[in-house]
A and B are shown apart, each in its own frame.
Chain A
């Protein structure tokens, strides 16, 4: 029972980390590097979108991702009753 719970907690953590890292990869290495030429055909204001992701967008998404992770992780901690205090 307790081993299962431990495994379930760890799996929930790994799932969350996996989702976040997928977004992390797509927004930086995907949009900003690997597919930057295709993305650059799209224009937003004075920016080509691929260039914007490489120099601005990826950074905004990184910040949002960490806060999202911290928030979701706190919920998982509480769900499994391993939160501090």
Chain B
């Protein structure tokens, strides 16, 4: 079977599986729709959380980002895993004990305020749509390359599938589909990684191959990589270019953001007990870690493979670079998508790939007869192109396509569900129509989900920047708005509604303003970004990706200060906090 036929077959099979599961596990009431009837086992919830969590950014983009960033890519690895420690230790067990349906609902009750609930809903919608825009671009990339359809058509197909199982199944449908999607995506990720690890180092375990010697050379992979990239004028692979404070802030923003993401938090509402919430976070991170420890290995090997392909001979020798006419098939197919581009600047018919932005290397390059870097490779394709670069069989390539789609769809579905729950449960039932019947609330939830899918699809046509980068902004916003008020709500009884509302608004507006100013997010039509995005202009040298940390600190400071000068929360709220801090009531409470 041809590659395209095989890809259609594998992707089609996975779609049939998801829809089958959705029909089997469709929601019958609002409990099913919002939190899967609270009957999900910790292991299944761990898997679903992992799939929910690992988005197109993790699957498609991350290894590619790391391949080009080297050490600087560590911010994503630590940031997107370390947040689970915060979540498991500081938030998940208590929110599970609280035992309601949504994150804004917790904020509303803890801060005894409908205004706080509305602000929380605004934060949630803001974060979730930023995040979902990134997923839709991921779906578009996979479809346009592997199924060779227009990006628009690809997007519509993706939206259709999510529509079926999110609208029909709600949280219950999504949970069990995500379990299946986790299996597809982790298999699709690790199989090529193992093949490539064997090819390069002879060691089948990518995490170990990462620190092994390149087969037959006697030099460690990372040392060899450092050596090759520096002789092409790039920065050393194992050390970064970002400033220390920026690495620190981006990592922390991603961690706190992870813990504050509504679609992740809500997953811990679906398990039966407080104890399960703690354990489930452990399983979730374990399943995530399988991909996250493989990714940097894949990144380094992909970079090595790419350079070895382009530069098979000695650097600087006339025939050291690959001739364009001899380019491999994968090169040609990716050129058609525009994600790989070659521009023969010195007219020698060969591909030179080096860092032409490095002034210190310019003289050396000129001596070689090179007149600028001739190859541009979109970071988002590294994982998708990797099996082809390594010459792996077609079924592996088809599997990777299915895995990429699974990753994007599972996350998109999770996000769409929290958006719809925020609309139907928090806005409609919580604020506007408190006496709505359960049946009508369920219907409202389904309509909201359908509407959210359309907005997400629209955003997918023109998302700002790379998948992983767009997603990074969602974290900054979550870190600066929701994470602090939830944390304070559990650990500081004195924080009241005025403090929480002021804190959330300060964190959200500051962080959003900074990102919009330097990067442009939603106001591109109004001419944003307005500021030049370079380190000299940044506040304390912190980039827009890391600014969520400053927003978070502002949120904490404002919330505590404002609370200090206003009335303490009422007695019943103090009791409620006592109540969520223990898994089961103290026996004396009834004595």
Contacts and interface: CB of A to CB of B under 8 A. Distances in A.
Interface of A: 1-2, 5-6, 9-10, 13, 17, 20-21, 24, 28-29, 32-34, 36-37, 40, 44-48, 51-52, 54-56, 58-60, 62-63, 65-67, 69-70, 73-74, 77, 80-85
Contact of B81 (A34, A36, A58, A85): A58
A66 B296 CA distance: 22
Contact of B247 (A13, A33, A82): A33
16 contacts: A20-B85, A24-B85, A32-B74, A32-B78, A33-B74, A33-B78, A46-B211, A51-B238, A62-B84, A62-B285, A63-B282, A63-B289, A65-B85, A70-B281, A77-B275, A83-B584
A48 B93 CA distance: 37
Contacts of A13: 581
Contacts of B66: 55
B248 A34 contact: yes
B292 interface: yes
B285 A63 contact: yes
B81 A62 contact: yes
B439 interface: no
Nearest to B292: A59
Contact of B584 (A24, A36, A82): A82
Nearest to A9: B582
Contacts of B211: 44-47, 52
Interface in B243-292: 244, 247-248, 251-252, 273-275, 278-279, 281-282, 285-286, 289, 292
Given A62-B81, A70-B281, A83-B583, 6 more contacts: A2-B591, A5-B586, A21-B85, A56-B293, A62-B85, A70-B278
B89 interface: yes
B279 A70 contact: yes
A60 B82 CA distance: 10
Contacts of B77: 54-55, 58-59
Contacts of B585: 82
Contact of B583 (A1, A17, A84): A84
Contacts of A66: 84-85, 88-89, 278, 281-282, 285
Contacts of A77: 275, 583-584
Contacts of B220: 45-47
B221 interface: yes
Contacts of A74: 275, 278
Main SS of chain B's interface residues?
helix
Interface residues of B, number: 54
A56 B248 contact: no
Contact of A33 (B88, B223, B251, B292): B251
Contacts of B281: 66, 70
B586 A2 contact: yes
Given A10-B581, A84-B274, A33 B248 contact: yes
Contacts of A62: 81-82, 84-85, 285, 289
Contact of A5 (B84, B285, B588): B588
B286 A73 contact: no
A85 to B, nearest CB: 8
Contacts of B589: 2
A20 to B, nearest CB: 6
Given A20-B89, A62-B82, A83-B275, A46 B293 contact: no
Interface string B303-336: 0000000000000000000000000000000000
Contacts of A17: 89-90
A44 B210 CA distance: 12
B130 interface: no
A20 B244 CA distance: 24
Contacts of B89: 17, 20-21, 66, 69
B293 A33 contact: no
A84 B273 contact: yes
Nearest to B222: A46
B207 interface: yes
